[in-house]
Structure 1
Amino acid sequence: MTVTESSPAKAERWTAQWKELYNEVITTGLCTGCAGCVVTCPHDVIGYEHEEGKYKPFHLEEELGLDNCLHGEKGCTTCTRACPRFRSWETAADMHLFGRTREPDEMAGIWRQLLLTRASDKVAHEKGQDGGFVSAMLIWLLENDYIEAALVSGVEPDDAWKAKPALARNKEEVLATAGSRYTYCANPLA
């Protein structure tokens, strides 16, 4: 006797492109200005102005207007896949990673283990925020050749309240940018 299994349902193809991103995120105020769409665009047609009040991406091609993309019409979906505010992706990610969806009390997501940490390096601990773990981890990754550089946020020399994207390639640069910035910064543009 032969048992026949039905094949799993095929996932619907992702077709959303700049046009949907523009209409659903950019013009509605959902855009955080993270620049994810800018740095991932393989066609280099999304611009960004890192200036106060203008932290929004914009389309550079004019053929279809600023709200549409010629590459998107041909099937490119990279910008919408990179955007953390485009539609709801958490449910699909939770199912893929954990095999279930979030419970009402799991607003921060599903986690397996919660760790409280702090840097053992005294300088990283003192310069960092809440224990300096991220700074210490970046330093360790750099010194052990796991990464060549890290995207971090620094501050403008004349305005300590204005964050600016920076690239840290060594311990000194990590420590110079250690600590939290309680303001917006598009680190991918560093």
Structure 2
Amino acid sequence: MATAEKWTAHWKHLYDEVVTSGLCTGCAGCVVACPYDVLNYDDREGVYKPFHIEEELGPGNCGHGEKGCTYCTRACPRFRAWEPEIDNFLFGRARLPEEVDGISKDIVLLKAADPEIAEKGQDGGLVSAILIWAMEHGYIDAALVSYLEGDGTSWKAIPGVA
């Protein structure tokens, strides 16, 4: 049985192949996944791009990546074709052509049963309804959520606790 090639791609590769090439969607997955907090997010001028904050190797390299850290490339949805490997690992098969969004058992459209939550919540308020239910029934004490910055008219999210 052949062993899988070890994944060694890191920030240097992500920077060259995704960030500087224009493939980056600005999702910040790499920033959130970085266990060393050396990636940050530049949202000035309405362009959402990750950048490396340590200057010793320049913007396109990372000392942690040189030592074997690969978290940022594994978190990036635009970095290389990782879906086939994940699909085979998780589901034991490749995606069918009609499964462009991935392999799933069911796809359902839901919204909160409470009209007020459905109206005020994002996209029908399902997540809000689940969190409210979990807090009311003692499953969680609080939830990390996002709010809109300022008066709520901007699209910039800020973290908050509910």
TM-score in terms of structure 1 length:
0.74
Describe the superposition over 1:75-104 as per-residue Cα deviations: whole angstroms up to 9, x where unpaired.
Answer: 111111121221122111211222111111
Equivalent residue number for residue 139 of structure 2:
145
Equivalent residue number for residue 7 of structure 2:
14
RMSD value over aligned CA atoms? Answer: 2.2
Equivalent residue number for residue 133 of structure 1:
126
Distance 1:131 1:56, change over 3 A: closer
Give the conservation status (yes or no) of the 8 Å contact 2:148–2:154: no
Matched residues, number? 161
Q: How does 1:100-119 map to 2 (within 5 A)?
A: 100-119=93-112
Identity among equivalent pairs (%):
55
Equivalent residue number for residue 67 of structure 2:
74
Distance 1:86 1:148, change over 3 A: farther
State yes or no: 1:59 paired with 2:52.
Answer: yes
Q: Secondary structure at the residue paired with 1:162?
A: coil
Give the conservation status (yes or no) of the 8 Å contact 1:156–1:164: no
Distance 1:165 1:103, change over 3 A: same
Distance 1:149 1:160, change over 3 A: same
Equivalent residue number for residue 30 of structure 1:
23
Distance 1:129 1:67, change over 3 A: closer
CA distance in 1, matches of 2:124, 2:30: 32
TM-score in terms of structure 2 length:
0.85
Gaps spanning 5+ residues in structure 1: where? 1-7, 170-190
Gaps spanning 5+ residues in structure 2: where? none
